[in-house]
Amino acid sequence: KEKTLPDPFVVLGIETSCDDTAVGILRSDGKILGEAIASQIELGEKWGGVHPSEAREAHKRNMMGTLEKALQQAGLREEDVDMIAVTTGPGLQMCLDVGCKAARDLALRLEIPFVGVHHMEAHTLSARLALQRPFWESDCWTTKGATVENVSPSLGEETDPLVPLEFPFLALLVSGGHSQLVLAE
């Protein structure tokens, strides 16, 4: 059955492409409602880098707590979420599987849409999210201490630093082994 989404709708995103377990909750207008990250930096230090099977096990241990922490920060319950998004690649397949399974199970249990997200495409399009006023009105670690004015102080008073980023645009992505120069059209 098809579900009509409210406007704005709430998306819960899960990211497990490598070594950190991350959950973000945002509205479709760009406002970040909650976020949580379970770092694996100690594992990386122990192994001298990412150890795929250890990273997978850490994702399994951290998934539910990270999900609960993000929902708590957002002041929401699972039932308040309208859609689940999850990184489907590129990344370490065994780590991606943990996030995909958690997202699938949650979407099925809540009977809400499930959307797979391309890791590098999301990095590229996040530049557009950062130019939305609700993003800067979010009260999360991503925006703590940052304002439109101190991020773009060289822009004069007559220039709105939140001018939409129009297509096409060029993006330099530096993300592990997937660094690339992208023309987004």
Tokens of 52: 């795929």
The pTM score is 0.84
User: For the chain, what percent of residues have pLDDT higher than 70?
Assistant: 81
Can you say whether residue 75 is alpha, beta or left, with left for phi > 0 and alpha for psi between -120 and 50 degrees? left
Which pLDDT belongs to residue 13?
A: 97
pLDDT tens-digit readout, 147-168: 555 555 454 444 455 667 889 9
pLDDT tens-digit readout, 66-106: 999 999 999 999 999 999 999 999 999 999 999 999 999 99
**By C-alpha distance, which of 41, 34, 35 is closest to 20?**
41
Task: Judge whether residue 179 has pLDDT over 70.
Answer: yes
Least confident of 4-8, 84-88, 127-131: 127-131
Which pLDDT belongs to residue 92?
A: 93
Q: What is d(CA 179, CA 159) in angstroms, rounded to the nearest whole number?
A: 32
For residues 16 and 59, is the Cβ–Cβ distance under 8 A? Answer: yes
Q: ∠ CA(114), CA(181), CA(185), 5° rounding?
A: 60
Least confident of 55-64, 83-92, 114-123, 125-134: 125-134
Which pLDDT belongs to residue 1?
A: 59
pLDDT band at residue 144 using 50, 70 and 90 as cut-offs: low
Least confident of 2-11, 109-118, 122-131, 176-185: 122-131
Higher pLDDT, 174 or 11: 11
